[in-house]
Amino acid sequence: MNPTRHVTTLGQSLWLDNLSRSHIHDGTLARLIAEDGVSGVTSNPSIFEKAFASSPYYADDLARLKATEPDAERRYEALAIPDIQAACDLLRPIHEASGGRDGYVSMEVAPRWAYDATRTVAEAQRLAERVDRRNLLIKVPGTPQGLSAFEALTQHGINVNVTLLFSLEQTQATFDAYLRGLAARSAAGGDVRHSKAVASLFLSRVDTLVDKELTAIGTQEALLLRGRTAVAMAKLAYQRYLHRFHGETFAELARQGAAPQFLLWASSGVKNPDYQDLLYVEPLIGRETINTLPDKTLDALREHGRPALRVEEGVAEAQALFDELARLGIDLELVGHTLQRDGVDLFETAYQTLLQQTG
């Protein structure tokens, strides 16, 4: 069996961390869905920046928009939203067959609203109305303000991908916001059966920063810990997921038909060339999880992946690693805060480049 297909039989969804009009026009996305079992797509400003720069399919629309639409942000949306809609349409059969548990496409609220809960809610609602697809996830950052917006959006029935999570504490706060939003929706008489959210935990960037700190410490014991933090964090996050959504905390909402907030492994392409190319894939295969893969990582999984259920293995070792990092003075909560702030800044830079490309 194709290893990518094998992964999906084990209960993990594979989403493509890329979207371009080229992928839609040349049949690449349709082929990945049919042959590899890809069941979702994620996008962000960096992805669209690359798409606009490399795909030939935007030029005519952009020329027309420059003549008719004076606002650069609206020009960007007029280019990106048809791609989002086309991907949603390709994935609609999966969405329907899964009862709304899979088959989603993500589109991000402009990064400049990452610290403004009120504007994030308004922009998320506006984008959801413009895209007008049931299998859309609006991406909202996991900042404190973003989580406040996420809770409100969940209460209003807007489905969300909470992005830019880099720590266990941020992930736990995301789960809590989802539970509060669902409970408020239920208390107001709303239907929670169609509510959907995912929590995108970023991996490779965590290792990049922690490895730098371990290298600075320089002892043999510290150096041996490099390249291990992100996978350990994901395994511990999955244990928190199981506790939150397969225990009494979620039981009543589950009886009403609510879906858990699946963990999504993001930033799963390795950044250190010395690391194995499936470092953030093979150890983290598990039921009720999602891995969003760049094209290169998806190719590697297809070519030489060895899928097996592993996300619940080595949990004690993962906790021991976290304890050792703390003993060495590495503050993983501070790491998460730093990376989240930097992530917002990187997306804002990419977003501004996007607007310049459409100018």
Q: Over the stretch 343-359, which tens digit does the pLDDT of each residue have?
A: 999 999 999 999 998 88
- Structure tokens belonging to residue 136: 């859309």
- Structure tokens belonging to residue 39: 């069941």
Using 50 as the pLDDT threshold, list the residues of the chain that sit under it: none
**Mean pLDDT, rounded, of the chain:** 97
For strands 289-293 and 197-202, give the pairing.
unpaired
CATH architecture of 3-357: Alpha-Beta Barrel (3.20)
DSSP string of 73-119, one letter each residue: HHHHHHHHHHHHHHHHHHHHHHHHHTTTSS-EEEEEPPGGGTT-HHH
pLDDT digits (tens, 9 = 90+) for 172-201: 999 999 999 999 999 999 999 999 999 999
| In the chain, domain spans | 3-357
Whether 139 sits among the annotated catalytic residues: the reply is yes
What is the model's pLDDT at position 357? 87
What is the model's pLDDT at position 359? 80
27 vs 32: CA distance, rounded Å: 9
310 vs 298: CA distance, rounded Å: 18
- Vertex 312 angle, CA 220 and 172, to 5°: 85
pLDDT digits (tens, 9 = 90+) for 160-176: 999 999 999 999 999 99
Extended strands (E) in 188-258: 197-202
Catalytic residue among 139, 196, 235, 271: 139
- Helix (H) / strand (E) containing 141: strand 136-141
- Structure tokens belonging to residue 256: 């009403």
216 vs 304: CA distance, rounded Å: 34
